[in-house]
């Protein structure tokens, strides 16, 4: 509980732009529970952010080290894979980013989550066919995975396959109604194809800022190139990276 409280406090300070206080809280979280990956992930996301804000390349090295420490404690920590892959790609190390996520997929062949993240990297690298294939593999494992469905719908919409995109978006919303951006895309497609429209659910907000490590976790997929921190579905407390083809934020 002490670690969780420190992470929650750190995320709050991070979102306020008080990086010194956020750092102190995340460090205390790690001291309180050294086995919990969230504190390390939050530190990584924070350093990734300050590297951009202050133009400090050394902070990128710190971020990379903390991402690896988070993965040492949880080899399937999705946000750390996502954050690290983005960090590597932004440094021009796209081969290393792809190797990182390909290794995750190979070690976990039945993980739809790993395949969705690799598909996301493919899509952001302009490799739409490879992204589509990976998403189809993910859906073969989890046919109702909303992130994979939304991502595949996005790719199909871009390629002009409107009816199939509508089917994917519709199924994704059945599995997770908390996707107002997806509902809006679906309504737009149905308007242009003459189908019934859908009203997006109220009281929700998707954080889709790829360059901010302290956003909020989501599950949609429009393309984007940088990670943020936010609250995860499992109730963890990290500044995390996203879903589908966009980012997620810090855990709290």
The whole-number pLDDT of residue 195 equals 58
- Using DSSP, state whether 237 is helix, strand or coil: strand
The whole-number pLDDT of residue 238 equals 61
- Using DSSP, state whether 230 is helix, strand or coil: strand
Residue 77 · residue 71 · CB < 8 Å: yes
The whole-number pLDDT of residue 72 equals 98
| Rounded Cα–Cα distance for residues 1 and 240 (Å) | 19
| Rounded Cα–Cα distance for residues 226 and 85 (Å) | 9
Residue 228 · residue 215 · CB < 8 Å: yes
Tokens at 182, concatenated = 């997806």
The whole-number pLDDT of residue 210 equals 36
Domain ranges of the chain: 2-238
| Rounded Cα–Cα distance for residues 141 and 170 (Å) | 19
The whole-number pLDDT of residue 27 equals 96
The whole-number pLDDT of residue 1 equals 72
Output the tens digit of pLDDT for each of the chain's 252 residues: 788 999 999 999 999 999 999 999 999 999 999 999 999 999 999 999 999 999 999 999 999 999 999 999 999 999 999 999 999 999 999 999 999 999 999 999 999 999 999 999 999 999 999 999 999 999 999 999 999 999 999 999 999 999 999 999 999 999 999 999 999 999 999 988 765 554 444 432 222 333 333 332 222 233 333 444 433 333 346 654 333 333 233 444
The whole-number pLDDT of residue 252 equals 44
* Length of the chain, in residues: 252
The whole-number pLDDT of residue 237 equals 60
| Rounded Cα–Cα distance for residues 21 and 109 (Å) | 40
- Using DSSP, state whether 239 is helix, strand or coil: strand
Domain 2-238: which CATH number of 3.90.1300.10, 1.10.10.2840, 1.25.40.10, 3.30.2130.10: 1.25.40.10
The whole-number pLDDT of residue 2 equals 85
Q: Structure pTM?
A: 0.77
The whole-number pLDDT of residue 91 equals 94
The whole-number pLDDT of residue 136 equals 97
Contacts of 61 (CB under 8 A, 6+ apart): none
- What's the start-to-end Cα distance of the chain, in Å? 12
146: left (phi over 0), alpha (psi -120 to 50) or beta: alpha
- Using DSSP, state whether 231 is helix, strand or coil: strand
The whole-number pLDDT of residue 192 equals 85
């Amino acid at each position: 509980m002490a670690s969780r409280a420190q992470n929650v406090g750190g995320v709050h300070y991070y979102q306020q732009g008080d990086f010194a206080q956020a750092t102190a809280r995340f460090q205390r979280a790690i001291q309180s529970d050294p086995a919990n990956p969230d504190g390390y992930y939050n530190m990584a996301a924070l350093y990734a952010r300050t590297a951009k804000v202050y133009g400090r390349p050394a902070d990128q090295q710190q971020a990379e080290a903390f991402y690896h420490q988070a993965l040492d404690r949880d080899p399937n920590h999705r946000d750390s894979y996502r954050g690290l892959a983005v960090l590597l790609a932004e440094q021009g190390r796209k081969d290393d980013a792809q190797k990182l996520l390909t290794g995750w997929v190979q070690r976990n062949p039945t993980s739809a989550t790993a395949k969705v993240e690799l598909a996301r990297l493919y899509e952001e690298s302009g490799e739409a066919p490879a992204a589509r294939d990976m998403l189809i593999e993910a859906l073969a494992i989890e046919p109702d995975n909303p992130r994979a469905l939304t991502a595949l719908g996005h790719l199909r919409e871009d390629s002009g396959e409107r009816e199939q995109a509508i089917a994917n978006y519709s199924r994704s919303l059945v599995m997770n109604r908390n996707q107002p951006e997806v509902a809006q895309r679906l309504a737009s497609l149905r308007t242009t194809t003459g189908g019934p429209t859908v009203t997006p659910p109220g009281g929700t907000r998707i954080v889709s800022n790829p360059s901010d490590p302290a956003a909020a976790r989501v599950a949609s997929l429009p393309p984007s190139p940088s990670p943020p921190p936010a609250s995860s579905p499992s109730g963890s407390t990290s500044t995390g990276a996203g879903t589908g083809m966009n980012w997620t934020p810090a855990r709290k």
